[in-house]
Amino acid sequence: MSTTTCLQIEEIHRKPSTFHRKIFSETTPKPLVTTTVKEEVITQTPLQAKQRVLLLKAAREQYTLVDDHHVPSILHPGEFLVKVLAIGLNPIDWKGPAFNFGIPSLPWINGRDLAGLVLQVPNESSRLRVGDIVLVPSTDYRDIRKAAFQEYAIATDFNAARIPSSTSIHASASLGVAFVAAALALGVSFGVDFSRLTQSPGPNLVNVISTLDKKNIPVDIQDEIFAISSESDRPQPGDWVAIWGASTTTGLVALQLAKLAGLRVICVADVARHGAKLLQSGADLLVDRRDTERAVEIIRGVTGGKLRYAIDIVGKETAMLLERTLDPPNNAHLLGLTGLPKDRVPGISYHTVPIKLFHTAPAVGESLVTWLESLLQSGVLTLPEIIRAEGGLEGINAALDVLRSGEASGKRIVVDLESHS
Ligand SMILES: NC(=O)c1ccc[n+]([C@@H]2O[C@H](COP(=O)([O-])OP(=O)(O)OC[C@H]3O[C@@H](n4cnc5c(N)ncnc54)[C@H](OP(=O)(O)O)[C@@H]3O)[C@@H](O)[C@H]2O)c1
């Protein structure tokens, strides 16, 4: 990549943004090293390039800002370098350190959702171009190069969705993991066919999976992704699905995807707080989350006791409540994003979302990000409401305290890095 190439791209890039011009002028002069891996030309950043990152040095500690961390290098085909512009905060960003899980080693860099500017691409045939603004759900948290809490990150082209110029970069930064989790929960675990949508059709993930070589799929998700055994097991338009925790970012995306697929959706949430937003997103029935016994009765009553699909996005206790709304003789499915009941009821299939499929199966990853691009382009998907946090990387500890306190109440906190670059 030469300075000339970047300046040309600057010309055609989103004209209204003086900010993007600033990034280009700051980032282009860096010298680059080119190597060849598996016949693909890989451009690497020089090892001496330094950046600011937020490091987790020990469990149950706050993150520490470090200003001399190396800029990660492109190592594998399909990878690209991105300058991080905005970071969407997920509950795992505080839960992981607080409860000491999801941290491969220490010190570590966390962060699961970012939006950024593509600085280097793997080759000219890449779906992405230098200068694209992308959102990246960084589900591959074991690869520290891909973490969001840093100024520069590596991502893989089949895990990045281009953000249209009409769409907010910050709101997009909040969407990725929620979208991937919701799409895999519905499309893989339950088998919803998104290819029949009239507006912005998506993938039939059951078909995509049938093309995968089983030996390339991580063993711990194989049962989950091959769980759908027959067509009659898959939700059909008109079927009910209940979502407990529908006001979560993941719930809100799941609601919208389910509606696009023609399902009828029961949303359990704080109706006074979130009812209007959920109705706007297509909810067919709102059930208040405060009186849990009444909520179970309402769901059973409205579905005639025949409910077959339920997603819990809150925890084990609410998953147990949802379990009671299902109809086991009718082959029911319960998916828990944050826990499932310990004891199993015959006739209910229990699911966890196979999130790592997104980064381990290129065909799945690419089908999801290209669908997401089309959903954003068409404006079909309503993005989460966000709270913009200032302070750059340094502000993340304080922003995570707000998230942890519950004050954000369904809004995604997005940390702005651009005014701190
Ligand atoms: N396994 C995975 O791969 C995966 C992927 C994505 C997410 N997750 C998990 O899914 C959960 C949700 O994530 P998220 O990022 O979507 O969450 P989020 O947007 O931060 O969720 C916040 C929302 O949760 C609601 N809530 C809290 N307690 C509730 C309850 N008892 N019943 C109903 N709603 C309740 C809050 O509603 P109020 O305003 O009424 O308090 C608020 O609207 C997290 O635990 C996350 O770790 C897992």
> What tens digit of pLDDT does each residue of 83-126 get?
999 999 999 999 999 999 999 999 999 999 999 999 999 888 88
The response to whether residue 109 sits with its C-beta less than 6 Å from ligand 1 reads: no
Pocket test for ligand 1, best of 112, 250, 321 (most atoms within 8 A of CB): 250
CATH class for domain 179-357?
Answer: alpha beta
Neighbours of 16 (CB within 10 A): 7
What's the pLDDT score for residue 226? 87
pLDDT average, residue stretch 314-325: 98
| Closest CA to ligand 1's atom 38 | 409
Using H for helix, E for strand and C for coil, what is the string for 91-131?
CHHHHHHHHCCCCCCCCEECCCEEEEEEEECCCCCCCCCCC
| Closest CA to ligand 1's atom 39 | 409
Pocket test for ligand 1, best of 313, 322, 360, 407 (most atoms within 8 A of CB): 313
Statement: residue 283 has pLDDT above 90:
yes
What's the pLDDT score for residue 48? 55
Rounded CA separation 71/232 (Å): 50
Which pLDDT tens digit goes with each residue over 258-269?
999 999 999 999
Burial bucket for residue 233 (CB in 10 Å: 0-12, 13-18, 19+)? middle
Q: Which ligand 1 atom sits closest to the C-alpha of 247?
A: 43
Share of the chain above pLDDT 90, in %: 84
Q: Which residues fall within 8 angstroms of residue 45, CB to CB, at 6 or more apart? A: 30, 32, 33, 71, 72, 73, 74, 81, 120, 152
Could you tell me the pLDDT band of residue 419, with boundaries at 50, 70 and 90? low
| Closest CA to ligand 1's atom 33 | 245
Mean pLDDT of the chain: 89
Q: Which ligand 1 atom sits closest to the C-alpha of 409?
A: 39
| Closest CA to ligand 1's atom 35 | 245
Alpha carbon separation from 58 to 107, 272, 399 (Å, rounded)? 7, 40, 19
Alpha carbon separation from 371 to 82, 171, 250, 362, 376 (Å, rounded)? 21, 17, 17, 14, 9
Q: Which ligand 1 atom sits closest to the C-alpha of 95?
A: 47
pLDDT average, residue stretch 7-13: 29
Rounded CA separation 420/170 (Å): 15
Share of the chain above pLDDT 70, in %: 88
The response to whether residue 250 sits with its C-beta less than 6 Å from ligand 1 reads: yes
Tokens of 311: 């997603």
What's the pLDDT score for residue 49? 85
What are the two backbone dihedrals, phi and then psi, of residue 190, each rounded to the nearest 5 degrees? Answer: -95, -25
CA angle 313, 316, 319 (to 5 degrees): 60
Q: How far is the CA of 245 from the centre of ligand 1 (A)?
A: 6
Statement: residue 192 has pLDDT above 50:
yes
Tokens of 323: 């379990």
Name the CATH code of domain 3-175+384-420 (choices 3.30.67.10, 3.90.180.10, 3.30.210.10, 2.40.30.10): 3.90.180.10
Q: How far is the CA of 370 from the centre of ligand 1 (A)?
A: 26
For the chain, domain boundaries: 3-175+384-420, 179-357
Pocket test for ligand 1, best of 139, 247, 322 (most atoms within 8 A of CB): 247
Could you tell me the pLDDT band of residue 252, with boundaries at 50, 70 and 90? very high
Q: How far is the CA of 277 from the centre of ligand 1 (A)?
A: 16
Q: How far is the CA of 310 from the centre of ligand 1 (A)?
A: 15
Rounded CA separation 169/135 (Å): 8
Could you tell me the pLDDT band of residue 47, with boundaries at 50, 70 and 90? very low
| Closest CA to ligand 1's atom 11 | 313
What's the pLDDT score for residue 37? 33
What's the pLDDT score for residue 418? 79
Burial bucket for residue 327 (CB in 10 Å: 0-12, 13-18, 19+)? middle
